[in-house]
Amino acid sequence: MLPLILGYHNSNWIKIYHPIFEQYNIDLVIQGHSHNYQRSYPILYNDLDPSNPTISTHEQSYYKDPSGIIFVIVGTGGESIQSVDKRPYLASTYMGNGCINIQIKGKSLDAEYYSETKATVDHFVVIKDENLKKFSPELKPQKIDFSSRQVMK
């Protein structure tokens, strides 16, 4: 079974949501559930093999107008810590309690993950170009049939 990062343990989840995130130019997805910390490189949906996303850059911590989505799991405030299977698309992992601080200033997002001892475990920055295409209202949300987990066209 694949780790929870990005929902890749559930191929139906990723087949539905990753393309929608790309359609709407989402840069960062933050989620919980797994009891550990995981951050991906910016990744693109891989239609041929959805469980193996395409890494758009191996840059470790500074992303200017990233091509792809950065997925973060911050599930480290709960009861027990779970192990992390290091996958090629993961830029950073941590098994221990902690929290993330995210600051947004203008077109810059600065994220820093701290351990329970207040040590910096991970730090990354996303910078957006002011001239990039902004969200367009003519993009229509897709309907999702959750009973069959299909994206309806």
Q: Identify the band that residue 2 occupies on the pLDDT scale cut at 50, 70 and 90.
A: very low
Nearest-5° Cα angle at 90, 145 to 28: 55
Task: Collapse the DSSP code of 23 into the 3-class scheme (helix H, G, I; strand E, B; otherwise coil) and give the result.
Answer: helix
Instruction: Indicate the pTM of the whole model.
Output: 0.80
pLDDT tens digit sequence for 90-131: 999 999 889 999 999 999 999 999 999 999 999 999 999 866
| β pairing state of 150-152 and 120-127 | unpaired
Which range of 1-5, 40-44, 127-131, 146-150 scores highest in mean pLDDT? It is: 40-44
Supply the CATH classification number for the domain 5-152. 3.60.21.10
Task: Give the contacts of 77 (CB within 8 A, at least 6 positions apart).
Answer: 97, 98, 99
Q: According to DSSP H, which parts of the chain are helical?
A: 11-23
Question: Distance (Å, rounded) from C-alpha 142 to C-alpha 139?
Answer: 9
